[in-house]
C-alpha cells in the first residue's frame, strides 16, 4: 500500500476525483443516519406485534427474534398478530362480546378521500400548470402567488371560515365536502410542482408537433404529458402523503361516516378511559403505513427516472 494512504482512506473514505461511487466508508455513514431515521417506524412496527403487557415494560423488549442468540432473552418478545385483529373488532368498556370498531370503514374512507382528492387535484392542477407555463396571463406570477397564499396561513386559521361555509351549504360531514377541501389545498401544491416540470421542457418539441400537424390538445397529451410522467408521479406521491396524514381538517369537517383514520386513531386512543392502549395504536399505525408505502414503492421507478431521457436540453 502506498505510503500516503491515510487511516481514513483505509477504512473506506477515499478522496474523490470527480463524480464516482462513494465507497464503503461513506455508504456506512449514510446507512447509520438512515437507521436513525427509520428507528421510530421500526419501533412502531415492533410495538404492533408485541403482547399488550410488554408495551411499556422496563427494560424494553427490542426484538421479536434473538438473532441466533445475539440478543439476550430479556430483550426478546414473542410476536403476536392479536393487536391487528383488535383494530377491527375488540371488547369495549364494560366487557362482553367483541364489537366491530368500524375501522374497516375508516380505512375505506381514508383511501377514497385521499386518492380521489389527490387525483382530482392532479388532473385540474396539471391542466392549470400547463396553462400557466405555456399561455402566461398578464401578471402570471401574481396569480401563481395568490394560489399559494392558501398555504401560507396555519390550517387552524383557514378552517374556521371553511367550517362556517360548509355548514351553510350542507357539505359538513359529507364525502364531497372533505374531498373538495383537500382538492383545493392540493391544487396549489400541484400547480406549482407541475408548472416547474412543464417549464423545464423544451418548447421546440411542442412547436415541432404543431408544425407536424398536431392540434393543441394532441400536443398536450401525446407530446407534453409523456415527458412529465416523473413529475406526475412525484406530485401524486407527495400530495398523497400530505393528504393521507392530514388530521385537523378531517377532525373538523368529517362526520361519523366519513371519518378518516388519523381522526379515528385519535378517538380510539382517547376513548375508553382505560389509559392508552399502545399496542393497539401501533397496530393501527402500521396498517396505516401500508397503502402509502405501497404506492410510493410502485411509483419509485418513475420518481427516480430522468425527466426527458436526455434528448432535449433547454
Q: Would you count residue 226 as binding other proteins (CB under 8 A)? A: yes
Among 216, 214, 221, 151, which residue's Cα sits nearest to residue 186? Answer: 151
Q: Would you count residue 133 as binding other proteins (CB under 8 A)? A: no
State yes or no: cis peptide before 59, omega within 30 of 0: yes
Q: Give the list of residues 6+ apart from residue 74 with CB closer than 8 angstroms, or none.
A: 59, 61
Q: Would you count residue 214 as binding other proteins (CB under 8 A)? A: yes
Q: Which of 210, 255, 267, 300 binds other proteins (CB under 8 A)?
A: 210
Q: Which of 223, 242, 248, 289 binds other proteins (CB under 8 A)?
A: 223
Q: Would you count residue 308 as binding other proteins (CB under 8 A)? A: yes
Q: Would you count residue 271 as binding other proteins (CB under 8 A)? A: no
The dihedral formed by the CA atoms of 151, 232, 118 and 145, expressed in degrees to the nearest 10? 20
Cα–Cα distance measured from residue 242 to residue 83, given in angstroms and rounded to the nearest whole number: 27
Helices (H), 63-102: 82-88
Q: Would you count residue 204 as binding other proteins (CB under 8 A)? A: yes
Q: Would you count residue 1 as binding other proteins (CB under 8 A)? A: no
Q: Which residue number, 16 or 215, has a Cβ lying nearer to other proteins?
A: 215
Q: Which of 207, 267, 290, 300 binds other proteins (CB under 8 A)?
A: 207
Total residues contacting other proteins by CB under 8 A comes to 22
* Closest separation in Å from C-beta 209 to other proteins: 7
**Listed ranges 42-50, 208-216, 230-238, 282-290: which one lies at the site for other proteins (CB under 8 A):** 208-216
**Listed ranges 51-59, 95-103, 266-274, 306-314: which one lies at the site for other proteins (CB under 8 A):** 306-314
**Listed ranges 74-82, 190-198, 220-228, 247-255: which one lies at the site for other proteins (CB under 8 A):** 220-228
Where does the chain show beta strands of DSSP type E? 89-90, 99-100
Q: Would you count residue 213 as binding other proteins (CB under 8 A)? A: yes
Contact criterion met (CB below 8 Å) for 180 and 124: no
Q: Which of 66, 74, 142, 215 binds other proteins (CB under 8 A)?
A: 215
* Closest separation in Å from C-beta 128 to other proteins: 22
Cα–Cα distance measured from residue 285 to residue 139, given in angstroms and rounded to the nearest whole number: 45
Contact criterion met (CB below 8 Å) for 250 and 259: yes
Q: Would you count residue 137 as binding other proteins (CB under 8 A)? A: no
Contact criterion met (CB below 8 Å) for 151 and 242: no
Q: Would you count residue 202 as binding other proteins (CB under 8 A)? A: yes
3-class DSSP assignment, residue 89: strand
Contact criterion met (CB below 8 Å) for 199 and 314: no
Contact positions vs other proteins (CB under 8 A): 202, 204-205, 207-215, 222-223, 226-227, 308-313
Amino acid at each position: 500500500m502506498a505510503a500516503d494512504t491515510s487511516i481514513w482512506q483505509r477504512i473506506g473514505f477515499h478522496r474523490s476525483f470527480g463524480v464516482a461511487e462513494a465507497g464503503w466508508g461513506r455508504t456506512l455513514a449514510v446507512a447509520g443516519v438512515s437507521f436513525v431515521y427509520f428507528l421510530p417506524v421500526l419501533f412502531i412496527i415492533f410495538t404492533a406485534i408485541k403482547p399488550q403487557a410488554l408495551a411499556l415494560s422496563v427494560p424494553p423488549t427490542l426484538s421479536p427474534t434473538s438473532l441466533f442468540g445475539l440478543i439476550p432473552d430479556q430483550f426478546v418478545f414473542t410476536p403476536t398478530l392479536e393487536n391487528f385483529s383488535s383494530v377491527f373488532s375488540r371488547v369495549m368498556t364494560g366487557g362482553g362480546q367483541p364489537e366491530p370498531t368500524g375501522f374497516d370503514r375508516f380505512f375505506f374512507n381514508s383511501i377514497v378521500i385521499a386518492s380521489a382528492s389527490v387525483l382530482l387535484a392532479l388532473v385540474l392542477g396539471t391542466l392549470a400548470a400547463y396553462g400557466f407555463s405555456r399561455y402566461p396571463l398578464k401578471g402570471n406570477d401574481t396569480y401563481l402567488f395568490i394560489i399559494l397564499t392558501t398555504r401560507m396561513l396555519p390550517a387552524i386559521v383557514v378552517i374556521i371560515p371553511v367550517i362556517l361555509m360548509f355548514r351553510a351549504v350542507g357539505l359538513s360531514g359529507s364525502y364531497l365536502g372533505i374531498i373538495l377541501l383537500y382538492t383545493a389545498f392540493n391544487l396549489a401544491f400541484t400547480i406549482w410542482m407541475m408548472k416547474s416540470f412543464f417549464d423545464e421542457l423544451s418548447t421546440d418539441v411542442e412547436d415541432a408537433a404543431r408544425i407536424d400537424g398536431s392540434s393543441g390538445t394532441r400536443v398536450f397529451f401525446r407530446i407534453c404529458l409523456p415527458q412529465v410522467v416523473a413529475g406526475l408521479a412525484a406530485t401524486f406521491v407527495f400530495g398523497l402523503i400530505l393528504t393521507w396524514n392530514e388530521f385537523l381538517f378531517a377532525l373538523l369537517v368529517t362526520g361519523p361516516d366519513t371519518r378518516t383514520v388519523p381522526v379515528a386513531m385519535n378517538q380510539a386512543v382517547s376513548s375508553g378511559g382505560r389509559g392508552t392502549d399502545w399496542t393497539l395504536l401501533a397496530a393501527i399505525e402500521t396498517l396505516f403505513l401500508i397503502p402509502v408505502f405501497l404506492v410510493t414503492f410502485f411509483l419509485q421507478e418513475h420518481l427516480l427516472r430522468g425527466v426527458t431521457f436526455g434528448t432535449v436540453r433547454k
